[in-house]
Structures are given as structure tokens and as C-alpha cells.
Amino acid sequence: MKSIKDALAHRFGDFDHAVDPRIAEQPFLQGLASRGVCRRFREEAVPTTLIETLAALALSAPTKSDMQQRDIMIVDDPAIRGRIDTLLAEQDWIPQAPHFIVFLGNNRRQRQIHDWTGIPFANDHLDAFFNASVDAGIVLSAFVLAAEAAGLGCCPVSVIRNHAEEVSGLLGLPGHVFPVAGLGFGWPSAPSHISARLPLSATVHRNRFTDATREVVESYDRRRNGIFPFRSQRNVARFGTSPTYGWSEDKARQYAEPERADFGKFVNERGFKLI
């Protein structure tokens, strides 16, 4: 594994200072600096007790106002898993992932507490959905980092929200509970690689926001292509082949097609008000 300094320099291109000696050898942080997504796994199962420990570690993450508006759904019923795999067939790695869990936003418990206590719920607006979503995202991240520190490989799955209604039905989700993301995980069959990120100069702001210039983003495109060029280009039928294809072109092409335009309707039907 690379040192924290080398990994961060490689990832960001502009990390150029020494790492504080108090953390330089810290194994968890070394792993975090070098981490990467994993979509290829060995068949060997992860022990249930390890999965449950990782869930407990993940749920130890911070939660807004200690409200705990997020849950984890372990999907280990083969029939339910099979239905989810079929729904998500557009991503062929998912059925091969030995384990699958779903991170849920859960604003239902909070509302139940109001019902039980007779104390009125005065926050039936966008914040209820937002807080539960953020809490679920925090737990997703904590689970991934804990699992990676345990030697597992993981890949989050937002395409689960392309089928939010069907998945909610399969998992028996009641009102005000919704899927935020799935996660496929298992023992990795190959090492992950460090994905280059936008430079820190563009993403760490100090006191006042500054826009990233086009030059900075294009320079990131070139640096990233020098490390790990895109193997294929999106939507060549619509946009043709670009000789300079990079991250920004890929992201622009990705969002030139509507994705989950009906998600707001689904969230509304789960009982949330979005204004």
C-alpha cells in the first residue's frame, strides 16, 4: 500500500505537503487514502457476524440531532435477492456480488414517536426527507470504510432508485421509509485502484466559494486520462467519438439523459412533502 502522502498526491495531483507524523502510519487512514471501489469478488461468503458487526460500526456514525433517521436492510433471502438482481440487471456485476444490503432513510420512527407521545410533528416539509437521506448517506459511507478496513470490497448502488417502488415493495418498506442506495460487497478478487479526483484547489474552499475554472477541470481530465483513461465513451450514437474524451465529457454525456426523473413523485408517494 502507498503511503498516505503518495496516495493523496496520486489521487489529487496537488497534495504536496508532508503528512502529520501523528497520522502518517495510521492503518485506517492509509487504507482510506488508497481506497477504491470494488465490483469483482471471490465467491467466499462473509460471515454473518462480521456483516452484523460492520452494520453496528456503520450505525455508530454521527446522526443529525441524534434522531437516527436511517436503517440498514440486510438482503439475504435468495428469492428477494434474485428479484433485486433481476431489476438491476443493467449492471452485470450486481448478481455476482456475494452480499447485498440497502441503506434506508427512515423518517417513520420520528413520526411514530409523535403519535405515541401526542406531541405534534411540526416538520412535515423537505427537511424531513433531506435529514433522513443525509443520515443514510453517512451510514453508507461508514459501512464502506469499515468494510474496506476489514479487507472487503464494496460498491454502492444508486441504480436501486431506478426501481425505488418495486424495491420498496420487495423489502416491505412502509411510508416515510425509502431506499437511498444499495451496496454490493464481498472479498475482493483483485486489488482496487486509486481513482483520481478533482484537485483540492477546486474542491476545498477557504472562507469564500471560488468556482473551478474550465482550465482546471480540463487539466484534471488530462491528468486523469494519463493515469486511467476511460475504456469506452458514453452514448457515441448521440455525441460521436471524442479524441479528448475525459471525466468532464463523460459526466456531461451521463447527465444529458434524464435519470430518475420520477424519483420526486416516488418520494411524494412515500408521504414526504418536498417543499
Query: Contact residues for ligand FMN (CB under 6 A)?
Result: 36-37, 91, 155-159, 181, 195
Nearer to ligand FMN, 51 or 181 (CB): 181
Distance of CA 195 to the CA centre of its chain: 14
Counting beta carbons within 10 angstroms of the beta carbon of residue 89, is it exposed (0 to 12), middle (13 to 18) or buried (19 or more)?
exposed
- Evaluate whether 63 touches 138 at the Cβ level (below 8 Å): yes
- CB 87, min distance to ligand FMN, A: 12
Rg (CA), the chain: 21
- CB 35, min distance to ligand FMN, A: 7
Nearer to ligand FMN, 156 or 199 (CB): 156
Nearer to ligand FMN, 195 or 248 (CB): 195
- CB 49, min distance to ligand FMN, A: 26
The span from the CA of 176 to the CA of 147, in Å, is 28
Nearer to ligand FMN, 113 or 256 (CB): 256
Q: Which of 39, 31, 69 is nearest to 146 (CA)?
A: 31
Angle at 206 between CA 202 and CA 211, to 5 degrees: 35
Q: Which residue is listed with cell 458487526?
A: 53
Residue 19: what are its φ and ψ, rounded to 5°? -90, 135
- CB 122, min distance to ligand FMN, A: 30
- CB 91, min distance to ligand FMN, A: 5
